Chains A and B, each alone.
Chain A
């Protein structure tokens, strides 16, 4: 039997809806989240800006305070010298600080400012305190100094008032400014007493050094430790100074007397030369020194002797010595500075009246500032020439040689004096005589040698008539060997 197969469709087991499940992103959730992020970033940025603002503000405050601090520190420093009002300065400082504080844009800045301001004002106040203390100290010091000066003068002029002054010191220190401590007052009192004692001792030394020295040695004065030896030294110095001053006074009086006598002697010499001399007047003049008085009277006699032809010839050695002493350097103690030694030499007949005159003229010339330069050159050359001849073997080791050498120098000096007088008479400069480059140089070897040749070529005359026949200005010698020059008509009067 045939079998017909049945067909049945396979159904069931169908799956649920396919695809994925929906999420918030599918409905704009991500966009919203992104927008939210933007909002939060904006908030974060604002916070950053705020923090930056606060940092900048705090920095601005600190810098501003530092500048004001520097400004008012300088002002304080200047106030030390100027004495400016520190309270007023602080008020200005505070005003400027308040102005700065008001410029702050954040509370952080204000807080920073307040913190800094507290410390900076504290430092300012401390410095002000120091300055006030300095000022009080300086004020007290000025008062003490003024007091010490005022009372010191009194102690100096009246040392016996020291005890009374010490009492005033005790009273004074109680009146010092309030800032001065008791220890400082006691110290000031002690210092003042020492100063007054010191002033009193100095006054006592000034008044009577011998008595003050005795008092110092007996311990009468309450001086600062270590000062006693100094004051003893001072008293001894004062004693020595007084003695020296007395000596100086005596020496000055003697020097004045010598000067006066010398001046008078020269006046009397002019009287001798002009024939108006009065020996009695000279003898009675108390201002003349004894030697000058005696010398003038004797010189008068020698002058008349020479006029009557009985003149003596100078001792060449003495004349040379006197010449060198007249032209000696200023530091030479043997230098002849006044007429007295010359008068004494004339009195002893060691130099002639004529040589006396030119030597005395040389002394006067050296005193004259106009001729001092030429005089110094002549003096220098005379000494050089003298040394040269005295050390020359031809004279130094020959018997009588040094006398001859002295004579040569004397003649040379006399001749040069003559040349100087001639040039003065002609109003010519004297410098060519002492200028080695000049033809008229008196140190020229040829010129000097003429005097060495025993005065060869110098005519010897026996009477005044013979002299008159010679040309004006001619050098001649008399029978005694004295050198002279015929008049030129232009001689400078004595």
Chain B
């Protein structure tokens, strides 16, 4: 029984090493997965902003069209104050469209950053798993060698 004790310790250490590696790998995989999702979210945020800017542009065209129509119906010539209003509406509409694009880009940048961080985390988790495995291997080796030493009485024997 006593002879098996160091081997039990070595086996335990091997299992711990395996476990540490596997834990690092799992954490790394999870981070990579999260990074991919964040990349997708970033692309989606851009698409969403673009679609929204197109809608805002359409709204602006329609709004200027209605101003012209109203001015024409009132006998206006399209000069003076009506033009000033139409120009202002067009400027505000463009601002709104640009704002929508900016917001989309901002969200996409946030997702991009998250993806970058997740990738870094995944790499670090993998490294941590290896380092932990190395620690477990060293600890197990030390404990096993110590156990062997505690059981090694051959050199202490007396010769009658």
Contact = CB atoms under 8 A, between A and B. Distances in A.
**Max chain A CB contacts within 10 Å: which of B11, B52, B150?**
B150
Contacts of A32: 18-23, 25-26
B34 A22 contact: yes
A35 B19 contact: yes
Contacts, number: 175
Given A17-B41, A43-B143, A107-B150, A12 B52 contact: yes
Contacts of A278: none
19 contacts: A11-B54, A12-B52, A21-B37, A24-B30, A25-B30, A27-B26, A27-B27, A32-B18, A32-B19, A32-B22, A42-B15, A46-B9, A46-B147, A49-B1, A53-B5, A101-B158, A102-B157, A107-B153, A107-B156
The 9 closest A-B CB pairs, nearest first, are A12-B52, A36-B19, A39-B15, A32-B22, A29-B26, A43-B12, A42-B12, A16-B41, A27-B26
A40 interface: yes
Given A8-B59, A17-B44, A39-B14, A24 B26 contact: yes
A285 interface: no
A38 interface: yes
A26 B30 contact: yes
Contacts of A42: 8-9, 11-12, 15
Contact of B30 (A1, A23, A106): A23
Contact of A98 (B27, B150, B160): B160
Interface in B10-55: 11-23, 25-27, 29-31, 33-34, 37, 40-41, 44-45, 48-49, 51-52, 54-55
Contacts of A12: 48-49, 51-52, 55, 100, 104
Interface in B84-127: 100, 104, 107, 111, 125
A33 interface: yes
B55 A22 contact: no
Nearest to A43: B12
B44 A24 contact: no
B147 A50 contact: yes
Contacts of B23: 24, 29, 32-33, 36
A16 B151 contact: no
B150 A39 contact: no
A14 B42 CA distance: 12
Interface size class of B (residues with CB under 8 A): 35 or more
A13 to B, nearest CB: 7
Given A50-B5, A106-B151, A108-B150, 17 more contacts: A6-B66, A8-B62, A14-B45, A16-B41, A22-B33, A24-B125, A27-B25, A27-B27, A32-B21, A35-B18, A35-B22, A43-B8, A46-B8, A49-B2, A50-B150, A101-B156, A106-B2
Contacts of A33: 19, 23
B66 A46 contact: no
**Max chain B CB contacts within 10 Å: which of A10, A39, A40, A42?**
A39
Contacts of B2: 49-50, 53, 105-106
B40 A13 contact: no
Contacts of A24: 23, 26-27, 29-30, 125
A235 B22 CA distance: 115
B32 to A, nearest CB: 9
A28 B150 contact: no
B41 A106 contact: no
A54 interface: yes
B24 to A, nearest CB: 9
A13 B17 CA distance: 48
B79 interface: no
A105 B153 contact: yes
A309 interface: no
B143 A47 contact: yes
Given A13-B48, A16-B45, A54 B150 contact: yes
A235 to B, nearest CB: 70
A50 B151 contact: yes
Contacts of A38: 12, 15
A102 B158 contact: yes
Contact of B111 (A16, A31, A37): A16
B5 A35 contact: no
Given A36-B20, A106-B150, A14 B5 contact: no
